[in-house]
Amino acid sequence: MALLYLFSGILLTCTSSAQILSVSGPNSQTVSKGNSVTFSVTVVTLLGSPSYQWYFNNYAITGATGTSLTVTNVSVPNIGNYSVAINNGILGSANPSATLTVTDLPPVVNNVPGAVAIQTVEDTSRWLGQAGDPVAWAPFIRKNPLPGDLAKSVIIQFARGDKTVPNPTATALIRSGDLTDRATFYRNDIAFPLGLGLNNPHTFLTSLPKPIAIEPQIQIGVFFATDGALTIDPDSVGLLPASVPPLFETPIAGPLPEDLGFLP
């Protein structure tokens, strides 16, 4: 007997003798910044009145227990998924059901130190993709520059358990180029059990929850802003609560990781 219905902006109809016969709504909506928006759901029941609990990005909204939810003065923090759990007294759950999109937002300004320098380098530099074993070319970065070239200022960020550039590949580059002192190691193995990591941390710079991702971004920004003269420890930025253990090693402490370190 199906008693709880989750929905995604569609009509779900009961095919058994459950109390809830059908559910419709909510619908995804697009509104301008500063306006209000209301998500609503219509439920047809055979017996009794179900209870409701609304969620924003899978987190329960305190006091949102009616058939509709109104969000006022919408802005960037309100963008996301809204859902509602409909409970007939026996079962209950929640799942994303409608999306709020906000328009007429002001331009996003990146005020991280060095952000403009990073973009300038990306726009004006010629990038070379070199396939093959890093052992073949890493020594030329700093340890043994090619004739006519100078040693390069370099910063390396890599993550525990990266499934795209796994630990042995990253450490081969670091070892062959004598770059251990230039490496920052994101400890996904520490962050993941705390609910702060990723199953595959290859894109940890952009995929980690804020403010964790911002800390290594600031490290890169400072590196470019100082023309490679300063490499800060991302943990030193201090955006995380004191209860969170250090998640970055700068430079890497202890032996270089040679196992894959993939999460199940």
Residue 50's identity, in one-letter code, is P
Contacts of 263 (CB under 8 A, 6+ apart): 161, 188, 192, 197, 199, 200
Q: What is the pTM of this model?
A: 0.52
Looking at the fold, whether 89 and 125 belong to one and the same domain comes out as: no
- Nearest partner of 79 among 102, 61, 63, 98, judged by Cα: 102
Residue at a domain's end among 74, 103, 132:
103
Phi (first) and psi of residue 57, to 5 degrees: 50, 45
Looking at the fold, whether 90 and 214 belong to one and the same domain comes out as: no
Looking at the fold, whether 89 and 146 belong to one and the same domain comes out as: no
Looking at the fold, whether 156 and 243 belong to one and the same domain comes out as: yes
- Does residue 153 lie within any of the structural domains? yes
Looking at the fold, whether 91 and 142 belong to one and the same domain comes out as: no
Looking at the fold, whether 214 and 123 belong to one and the same domain comes out as: yes
Looking at the fold, whether 232 and 146 belong to one and the same domain comes out as: yes
Residue 129's pLDDT is what? 53
Looking at the fold, whether 129 and 220 belong to one and the same domain comes out as: yes
Residue at a domain's end among 41, 75, 103:
103
Residue 113's pLDDT is what? 72
Residue 21's pLDDT is what? 63
Domain of residue 29, CATH code:
2.60.40.10
Residue 234's pLDDT is what? 94
- Does residue 173 lie within any of the structural domains? yes
Looking at the fold, whether 123 and 239 belong to one and the same domain comes out as: yes
Looking at the fold, whether 164 and 136 belong to one and the same domain comes out as: yes
Q: How far apart are the first and last CA of the chain?
A: 34
Alpha helical stretches, state H, the chain: 115-124, 134-137, 167-176, 188-191, 204-207, 214-225
Number of domains the chain is built from: 2
For the chain, helix, strand, coil in percent to 5 are 25, 20, 55
Partnered with residue 81 across adjacent β-strands are 99
Residue 30's pLDDT is what? 94
- Does residue 1 lie within any of the structural domains? no
One digit per residue, pLDDT tens: the chain, 264 residues? 333 333 333 333 333 434 566 788 899 999 999 999 999 988 877 766 788 899 998 888 999 999 999 999 999 889 988 999 888 665 444 454 799 999 988 877 767 777 777 777 767 765 555 556 778 888 988 899 989 989 888 999 999 999 988 888 889 889 999 999 999 999 999 999 998 999 999 999 888 888 899 999 999 999 988 988 899 999 999 998 889 999 999 998 888 998 998 987
Give me the domain span that covers residue 191. Answer: 115-249
